Amino acid sequence: MVPQALDKINRLRKYMDDCGYSHVRLEVDGNCSMEWLPKMKNAGADIFVLGSSSLFLPGTPLQIAAEQVRSIISK
């Protein structure tokens, strides 16, 4: 995850809202980790492509990882 991407998410969300597209959901893909998920959400992302950075963590059961992700993005 490149920290500058958070600014891009934020700017895109604002642009979309300002242009009347606030109903359009913004999807992010790439290092949607437990650390970055709340930051991406706060920046304006609505949909997250999950993979080995969050949902399929080695040594963590899928159900536990899914519960953690749900908890993070529901705040």
How far is residue 22's CA from residue 3's CA, in Å, rounded to a whole number? 24
Structure pTM?
0.88
- Asked if 34 and 40 count as a contact pair (C-beta separation under 8 A), the reply is no
The reported pLDDT for the residue numbered 75 is 84
Q: For residue range 13-43, what is the model confidence (pLDDT) as tens digits?
A: 999 999 999 999 999 998 999 999 999 999 9
